[in-house]
Amino acid sequence: MKLYESHISEFNEKSIKEHQNQFDFLGDTLDKKNINTLNVVDALAKFQVAIPSWALGAGGTRFGRFSYFGEPSNLTQKLDDVGLLHALTQTAGAISLHIPWDVPEDYNAIKEQAKSLNLKFDAVNSNTFQDQANAKESYKFGSLCNTDEAIRAQAIAHNQDVIKIGEKLGSKSLTVWLADGANFPGQNNFQTVLSNTENSLKSIYKTLPDDWKMFIEYKPYEPNFYSTVIQDWGTSFMLANACGDKAYTLVDLGHHLPNTNIEQIVSTLMLKGKLGGFHFNDSKYGDDDVTVGSVKPYALFLIFNELVYGMQNNPQNPDLSWMIDASHNIKDPLEDLMQSLEAIQEAYAKALLVDQSALKQAQSVHDVVACQEILQRAYRTDVRPLLAQARLQSGGALDPLALYRGLDVRQTLIEERGKHTIASGL
């Protein structure tokens, strides 16, 4: 489905007056607090989040999968979907591919398509958590950590192939997430599997192009339920340090045990210059991968508060790769992604409103109440007119979800692609 500029401008015209009133009112309020509204809007317009190719179809659980229909069944259609999201929101200017699910058949055509949709290729993801058809070795008992050298070699070679695919597309980073671990005590020797993983990662790192980064993701459990080799940020940080300057930790919001202080992890990693990438999602219990901001929006704001602080004060930390990693079983995936993008931008905008110098002052005199008030004052501000303004300025829709529904995009996709499509991937 093609979205024309006229679709967006005609839609925006209907509510432009109301938006302008809301934006001006908020601008006046922020002005009185010495906040430069235009700077905030500018920062929001620049903030781009990569969409994972595997989130474009309705996800499933191990109990079942309910199609949302009209889902993309190849890479071209996946790019089209991200293009739609980007045209509507002007926030989704990149896609993150998963190999082997997304190997392009025609690289030039895919690159041309991405260019025409104004999309970049963000991190490429390897997959050693499933056995691929015709694979010689099995990952049933681990990949990069395996005690069998031939299995490790196959997993290393796969990651190196993924880098080569990414290079052809103009991607600049590799994300490694490993399912490796054990289901039962005694199954693995902890030291052996950790050492094997470190050595395997070093072999992959050796072939990383100079201008690339390697992101090492951690996760406490699932699919292994007794231990995971890269279980936490400390393990990832240690492995990234062992590999070298181009290796970083990737924080996935769902990859923590309940009540973990993620904002503190973010802050520590940025101080040490080792936070490379971010996977946004939300959760109530574990790696639930539900819509960003749907369960714990205040926690997301606190995380963004540290990210903003880090971006302003930690030049030792590189620019971050922002990605969504969510998957949904019962919503239209594109609507869900729009909700996630909105929640991310909202938390970012609120964090930008935090009066950092007042906070520093209150901290220095141990005025705990004032510290909390400063954070909550920013959090309680309704920043949605700023988000809408950023979209408007960049050619996006004032209300992307309303326009998506108004145009009945999903119905058009179903007509174009058929009802019983299955997105490749998870």
Using CB under 6 A, list all residues that contact ligand PSV: 125, 177, 217, 219, 252, 279, 287, 325
Question: How near is the Cβ of 222 to ligand PSV at its closest, in Å?
Answer: 7
Question: How near is the Cβ of 296 to Mn ion at its closest, in Å?
Answer: 16
Cβ closest to ligand PSV, residue 287 vs residue 373: 287
Question: How near is the Cβ of 214 to Mn ion at its closest, in Å?
Answer: 15
225 and 206 Cβ atoms separated by less than 8 Å: no
338 and 89 Cβ atoms separated by less than 8 Å: yes
Cβ closest to Mn ion, residue 175 vs residue 267: 175
| Helix, coil or strand: residue 227 | strand
Binding residues for Mn ion, rule: CB under 5 A, are 252, 279, 287, 325
Question: How near is the Cβ of 125 to Mn ion at its closest, in Å?
Answer: 8
**Which amino acid, 272?**
K
C-alpha span between 204 and 155 (Å, rounded):
9
Cβ closest to ligand PSV, residue 277 vs residue 310: 277
Cβ closest to Mn ion, residue 78 vs residue 279: 279
Question: How near is the Cβ of 355 to ligand PSV at its closest, in Å?
Answer: 34
Cβ closest to ligand PSV, residue 23 vs residue 177: 177
Strand 60-61 and strand 64-65: the pairing is: antiparallel
Cβ closest to ligand PSV, residue 216 vs residue 243: 216
Cβ closest to Mn ion, residue 123 vs residue 347: 123
Question: How near is the Cβ of 190 to ligand PSV at its closest, in Å?
Answer: 21
Cα–Cα–Cα angle for 158, 163, 169, rounded to 5 degrees: 130
Strand 173-176 and strand 120-125: the pairing is: parallel
Question: How near is the Cβ of 418 to ligand PSV at its closest, in Å?
Answer: 26
Q: Which of ligand PSV, Mn ion, none does residue 306 bind to, with CB < 5 to 8 Å depending on kind?
A: none
Q: Which of ligand PSV, Mn ion, none does residue 102 bind to, with CB < 5 to 8 Å depending on kind?
A: none
Count of positions (residues) in the chain: 426
Cα–Cα–Cα angle for 271, 275, 280, rounded to 5 degrees: 125
Question: Which residue shows structure tokens 């908020």?
Answer: 26
Q: Which of Mn ion, ligand PSV, none does residue 122 bind to, with CB < 5 to 8 Å depending on kind?
A: none
Residue nearest to ligand PSV (CB): 177
Sign of CA dihedral 367, 369, 372, 373: negative
Contacts of 184 by beta carbon, 8 Å cutoff, 6+ apart: 226
Which stretches within 100-147 are classed as H helix? 107-116
Q: Which of Mn ion, ligand PSV, none does residue 417 bind to, with CB < 5 to 8 Å depending on kind?
A: none
349 and 390 Cβ atoms separated by less than 8 Å: no
C-alpha span between 172 and 184 (Å, rounded):
37
182 and 224 Cβ atoms separated by less than 8 Å: yes
In degrees and rounded to multiples of 5, residue 3 shows phi and psi of -105, 120
Question: How near is the Cβ of 287 to Mn ion at its closest, in Å?
Answer: 4
Q: Which of ligand PSV, Mn ion, none does residue 346 bind to, with CB < 5 to 8 Å depending on kind?
A: none
Cβ closest to Mn ion, residue 78 vs residue 255: 255
